[in-house]
Amino acid sequence: MSARIPVILNPAAKSTKAAARESVLRALSPEPEIILTKAPGEASKIAEQLAREGHGLVVAAGGDGTMNEVLQGLCRVNAQRPPGEKHTALGVLPIGTMNVFSLELGMPSSNIANCWKMITSGRLREVDLWQANEQFFVQLAGVGFDAEVIRQTPWERKKKFGLLSYVMSAVQVLMRKQPTLTVQVAGRPDMHGSVVLIGSGKHYGGPVPVFPKANNQDGLMDVIILRGLSGWEFAQLICAILERGYEAAADIDYLKVSEFTVTAKPASPFQVDGELISGQTPVSFRAAPFRLQVAV
């Protein structure tokens, strides 16, 4: 087993800058072991193999998509380890289009060398880990609108327009009839809406703290349910974010829970950490049977 820390890099991400990104990573000290992926989903398999080989830390170099792929592989192995056995920790080098989890961790995305210094310091933080059906996630998830936006945003458009590509897709999705989502929480009446957003941390989709009261170590998910999908609901959402509170929002439900289920008519897509999941609703959100160790 190599003494160097393995770093899984997706060279397809921001492909026009791929060579420069790889060069920056290879210049880091102490020198990492760079492992390049060649196909979608391969980062998960590589991470799983590294964890089975006994690596104590595996680093994802990319955006939230690469991070979540690596997360799946590590968690498959960590889930099989007996109580008390050391888990493989996750590290994140934020060089992708969306780097929400690294932002939550306080990683300086503008300075990869400083990020690497933090990762190699030996400090670990334990954070909440969640599951949407069988998929693990650590930062955010969504059912309905935002998942549909991701589904309608092809890689070619993201490559050409960056974050603007999601805005373009959002306009297209808003013009369609939206599904009715039903949120079921034990001991509460069913809640209905058009959008369900889930946060383990404060940030969702960027630097704006959509969940200002969230804490990724409190064992609870912060959940926003927009009852409609018009400009009025989005205006209330923006006001709630800016004013640090959802209590006055008449058409938004905000709750903190450890487990709930979402059904939809018709069936709706869902996403975790910004990655579209192949299945559709119903989806059960719950705590994973263990927490995640993160290098910070």
Region of 5 on the Ramachandran plot (φ > 0 left; ψ -120 to 50 alpha; else beta): beta
Out of 94, 122, 150, a domain closes at 122
Q: What is the CATH number of the domain that holds 102?
A: 3.40.50.10330
CATH code of the domain containing 277: 2.60.200.40
Does a structural domain hold residue 295?
no
Place of tokens 């921001």: 14
Strand partners, 35: 8
One domain for residues 99 and 158: no
Neighbours of 281 (CB within 10 A): 23
pTM for this entry: 0.91
In tens, the pLDDT along 38-75 reads 988 899 999 999 999 999 999 999 999 999 999 999 99
Per the structure, the complete domain to which residue 48 belongs is given by 6-122
Question: Domain check: are 278 and 144 in the same one?
Answer: yes
The CA-CA-CA angle for residues 218, 57, 286, to 5°, reads 30
42 in a structural domain:
yes
Do 102 and 225 share a structural domain? no
Percent with pLDDT over 90 in the chain: 65
Task: Give the separation between CA 278 and CA 276, rounded to whole angstroms.
Answer: 7
The residue out of 91, 122, 153 marking a domain boundary is: 122
Helix, strand, coil tally for the chain in percent (to 5) = 30, 30, 40
Q: Are residues 109 and 148 in the same domain?
A: no
Question: Both 144 and 281 in a single domain?
Answer: yes
Q: Alpha helices of the chain — where are they, by DSSP H?
A: 18-26, 42-52, 64-78, 100-105, 112-119, 145-151, 155-161, 164-174, 231-242
Q: Looking at the structure, tell me whether residues 141 and 65 fall in a common domain.
A: no
Residue that the structure tokens 């058409």 belong to:
251
Query: Rounded distance, CA 81 to CA 62, Å?
Result: 27
Is 111 contained in some domain?
A: yes
- 179-207 confidence digits (pLDDT tens): 899 999 999 999 999 999 999 999 997 88
DSSP state, 264? E
Whether residue 93 is contained in a domain is answered as yes
Number of domains in the chain: 2
pLDDT over 70, % of the chain: 94
Token output for 7 = 């770093």
Q: What CA–CA distances, in Å, run from 1 to 44, 51, 73, 93, 265?
A: 19, 11, 18, 22, 50
Is 127 part of any domain?
no
Is residue 273 over pLDDT 60? yes
* Last-in-domain residue among 122, 153, 176: 122
